[in-house]
Amino acid sequence: MSLDTALAQAKRSRDSFGSLPSSPSTSVPSSPNKKKHKKSKYANAPSSFAHSPLSNGINGLPSRPSSSSAPSSPSRKQLPSPSHEGGGAASAWIRDALKAVDPRILESRAALPITSGKQAIIDAVRSSDTVVILGETGSGKTTQIPQFLFEAGFASRQPVQMIGVTQPRRVAATSLARRVAVEMGQPDPAVLPNVKGKARTAAGGLVGYSIRFEDRTTRNTRVKFMTDGMVLREMIGDISPVQTSSSAMTSQTSALRSNLLLKYSVLIIDEAHERTLRTDQVLGLAKRIQRERKALRQSWIARGKPANEAEITELKIIVMSATLDANRFADFFATPSTALRANATVTDARALAAANTKQEVPILYVKGRQHDVAMFHTEEPAQEWTDAALRTVLQIHVSRPPGDILVFMTGQDEIDTLARALELYSSELPAWAEAESKPTPMSLMIAPLYAALGPSASLKVFGPTPPRTRKVVLATNIAETSITIPGIVFVVDCGLAKEKVYTPGTAVETLQVQEISQSAARQRAGRAGRERAGECYRLYTQKAFEALPLAGTPEIVRTDLAAAVLQLCAMGQDPYTFDWLDTPDPEGLQESVLQLIQLGALDIHTPPPNKEAKGEKATARLVLTGIGMKMAMLPVSPAYSRSLIAAAARGPTVARQVRDLIAVLSSDRSILVEPTDQEKREEANRAKATFVHPSGDHATLLCVLYAYLAEADKVAMLTKTRSQGSADRKVVEKEGREQLKAWCQNHYVHQKAVKNVLHIRNQLRNICRQQKLACDDDHPSTTTAELSSDDSNSDSDSESGVDRDGLFVTHKVASEERGEEDESFVGMRQSLLEGRIANAALKQPSAPNTYKRITSAAGAGSTFKIHPSSTLHPSKMARERASRQTDAILFEELVFTTQTFARTVSIIEPAWLQELATRK
């Protein structure tokens, strides 16, 4: 295990770094036991599976045991003394902060491959502004490097200097923070009390995390894990929510000086190979911030370090991953910042020029992983990968030694399907073992893991596995990087993942199942070797693996850029001169800018000509309007934020309707169950008819949500009345939950999806309060039923109408929503139109039931029809004998199946379009 360092020169060839050496522990040829197995690829599986017509098994399931222990740990070591320019006082503070570290943890840390390169990493960070670190999965880079830097004194107590670590996903940010807190002898940040002021300072430890809607940091935090989105929020800075276009230039300049991440001494950008849109934004902004802080510091030193000015430190950047094009990232940070050069805010030209020059970026490679991973591929391509995954899990369960299983799947629906199948077959395993005279297999504990799960629901994944039980984690690619799930020994990889693909011009966004890249496949395999030697079973052939692309397609070339452009403009950045690692598609970028101008978020500002600069033309630039500033402060898409602002202007009732609708539309799945069986589908349509609103799908979804809340309140009232008597409270509450569950089943309402919606709704409610967007349920006395639980995704949550203090609360029932309050949701649809003006369409007289957008910039010449699932589909309207005028519609998205369809559609009035056109 060694750490090789290659300094990145201004002109480097690929040979200077070379390709990543293939570790023998990550690739195993066909098993030597292959000939010993029967022709069936599932020879050791239950007989009910061995003779299935599906014969796509794993190439040679090994018969050898996979028991291997961790390398022998060295003798107990004392905590290494920190070395930093701060001197003895700083060293004493660090030693005192880490005095609670368990010596056994020090031993386990010393066994990690990255420990041998600790001093080389610290030296490289001290001597260079940017460092690129590559380390194999399981080398310990994500958890250990922040601790190395803290022990070396990169985080100071006064003034506050933190080590920030970014992660693409919130599950990774929270789980890593909790693990590093344990290793540093600090309290768990997830259980940080919700206190403020001095009490909050005393309560917190050195390690914290910040994710969307959840901040688990205090004034004591020095190692901070956060999602890319949260560090982007910090980069935006403390911007005034009120701004006019005339004062935009001044406001943006002041805001730009407030988003230099001055409280961070080191920013670690982890898992950069995933290349999400936010990761690309963080990379570009970090490059500019680093150069600007360097220039400001040099200017401060050149002026004699004036005492009346606060000292600005330089920012160190570390880019790391298990699989990464090192030269590309090193070259990106080595070259000058085009954004800083095009829009400089530093007045000292000499300091700016010195700071924005080419730099040397060292590339460090941490070789070795702690445990080996054996690889196995199928001999033939799988015809149905979900069935192959089921077979493989069962075969591992009955034939391999104890150890948990991680199965990579494409989405929530596939996870739920496989979970039901595993639960069904696992119940039959004891009978099979008795018939075959085999030992009774362990119990199976199924644990799903996907983004929509709340923190409490995902505790089952990260908690300890009960005795005589094998845990099977069914996960999307959320488990691909960074996070370590305890006990995982076996990985089953389907080789697929769902990705959103956006087509500029037509504005059609499709969720497609696509093959993963080779780097992603290696990351998935690495999940098996985190705690001991593991095995990875790929449901595709070796030849198919070699045909996979080396790296995934960056999100920036396949997604809508409107949100990214809005964020950049809020930070005073020009999207056309921004430091993009990959330049976005010009057509897509132009379309996003035009969309934001259409929403009133951006304006084109042309400064007056400079009479002294003869022959030079004034350069027009994009500036944020007052509406755009408000939109930038709302963590939802630009279309939703614009609709929410428009709704607030129409009154608190409309604001609440739009806020709730955004929560429904932001959920990962529909709140209505769509059965595949034809008979049940007709039954579901009849049940759905009780919610259908004549204006279309948006109001119908709201009616479903409000009907659920009304039923929850009714159940809560009954529960409270019965529990006040002689009845057992727990029994009564259980009966209430069962009653609400039965209501959902009878009305084909997806209860888990509704709970997720209510969780998002609570978060949006807090945001609206912060941004002074008044809703008619803001008063504490009208708190709705879902506030009875923090985690609305947990299966055990009850939607009772009793809050934490036992006070019963009420909510307006669906009949009031549909009758007295707003019969046709006019204000809601008008507000949606202001944010979705590009999604308005008119019926085409030349083709029956065909529509075309009103905006030529978004899909000129393309026509589409209403999706069959919509309440406004012609077949459903004919069945109901409805005579609604659908000459103008508003839709949420276009999807392409056999043809292009509009989904989630509502009726709008053509006069509203004329009014908007006149206003703009």
The DSSP secondary structure of 725-741, one letter per residue, reads: TTS-HHHHHHHHHHHHH
pLDDT above 60 for 769 = yes
pLDDT above 60 for 199 = no
Contact 139, 113 (CB under 8 A): yes
653-686 pLDDT tens trace = 999 999 999 999 988 778 998 886 778 888 888 8
456: confidence class by pLDDT, cuts 50, 70, 90: low
Q: Angle 75-81-83 (CA atoms, 0-180°, nearest 5)?
A: 140
Dist. CA 44–CA 534, nearest whole Å: 19
Write down the mean pLDDT value for the chain.
78
Least confident stretch, 233-242, 552-561, 689-698, 903-912: 233-242
Can you give the pTM of this predicted structure? 0.72
Burial of 899 (0-12, 13-18, 19+ CB in 10 A): exposed
Dist. CA 279–CA 504, nearest whole Å: 21
> How far from chain centre, in Å, is Cα 143?
20
Alpha carbon separation from 885 to 831, 877, 909, 910 (Å, rounded): 20, 11, 9, 11
Can you read off the two tokens belonging to residue 196?
Answer: 């403020």
Burial of 683 (0-12, 13-18, 19+ CB in 10 A): middle
Task: Give, for 895, the enclosing helix (H) or strand (E).
Answer: strand 888-896
Most confident of the ranges 238-242, 263-267, 451-455: 263-267
Residues in the chain: 920
Strands 496-503 and 443-449: unpaired
Say what the pLDDT of residue 635 is: 80
Contact 781, 809 (CB under 8 A): yes
For residue 471, the cross-strand partners are 445
3-state SS string over 301-330? HHCCCCCCCCCCCCCEEEEEECCCCHHHHH
pLDDT above 90 for 491 = yes
Say what the pLDDT of residue 201 is: 55
Residue 884: how many CB atoms within 10 A of its CB? 12
Domain with CATH 3.40.50.300 in the chain: 24-55+372-553, 88-238+261-366
3-state SS string over 829-874? HHHHHHHCHHHEEEECCCCCCCEEECCCCCCCCCEEEECCCCCCCH
| pLDDT top residue among 905 and 71 | 905
Q: What are the phi and psi torsion angles at 866 (to 5°)?
A: -80, 135
Dihedral angle over CA of 320, 326, 328, 330, nearest 10 = 70
Least confident stretch, 157-166, 367-376, 782-791, 909-918: 782-791
Say what the pLDDT of residue 274 is: 80
Contact 172, 481 (CB under 8 A): yes
pLDDT above 60 for 724 = yes
CA-based Rg of the chain, rounded to a whole angstrom? 29
| pLDDT top residue among 441 and 249 | 441
How large is the average pLDDT for residues 724-729? Answer: 72
Q: Which 3 state secondary structure label does DSSP give 379? A: coil
pLDDT above 70 for 42 = no
The amino acid sitting at 84 is: H
- Which residues of 399-558 form beta strands (DSSP E)? 404-408, 443-449, 469-475, 488-493, 496-503, 508-515, 534-538
Dist. CA 700–CA 876, nearest whole Å: 14
Largest CA distance in the chain: 96
Dist. CA 644–CA 82, nearest whole Å: 51
299-345 pLDDT tens trace = 889 888 988 888 889 999 999 876 667 888 899 999 999 888 766 66
Q: What are the phi and psi torsion angles at 99 (to 5°)?
A: -70, -20
| pLDDT top residue among 682 and 15 | 682
Q: Give the CATH superfamily of 24-55+372-553.
A: P-loop containing nucleotide triphosphate hydrolases (3.40.50.300)
403: left (phi over 0), alpha (psi -120 to 50) or beta: left
506: confidence class by pLDDT, cuts 50, 70, 90: low
Q: Which 3 state secondary structure label does DSSP give 35? A: helix
Dihedral angle over CA of 91, 97, 100, 103, nearest 10 = -40
The amino acid sitting at 308 is: N
In the DSSP assignment, the letter for residue 777 is T
pLDDT above 60 for 786 = no
Dist. CA 631–CA 588, nearest whole Å: 20
How large is the average pLDDT for residues 367-379? Answer: 85
Q: What are the phi and psi torsion angles at 369 (to 5°)?
A: -125, 160
592-619 pLDDT tens trace = 999 899 899 999 887 776 655 555 555 6
Say what the pLDDT of residue 128 is: 95
Dist. CA 751–CA 756, nearest whole Å: 9
Terminal Cα distance for the chain, rounded: 64
250: confidence class by pLDDT, cuts 50, 70, 90: very low
Tell me, which fold does domain 88-238+261-366 have in CATH? Rossmann fold (3.40.50)
245: confidence class by pLDDT, cuts 50, 70, 90: very low
| pLDDT top residue among 811 and 695 | 695
* Signed CA dihedral, 93, 95, 101, 105: sign only: positive
In the DSSP assignment, the letter for residue 7 is E
633: confidence class by pLDDT, cuts 50, 70, 90: confident
Q: What are the phi and psi torsion angles at 741 (to 5°)?
A: -65, -40
Residue 459: how many CB atoms within 10 A of its CB? 14
Burial of 879 (0-12, 13-18, 19+ CB in 10 A): exposed
Alpha carbon separation from 177 to 111, 279, 402 (Å, rounded): 21, 19, 28
pLDDT above 80 for 569 = yes
251-309 pLDDT tens trace = 443 343 447 899 999 999 998 888 888 899 999 999 999 999 999 999 889 888 988 88
Of 890, 847, 887, 852, the residue nearest 870 (C-alpha): 890
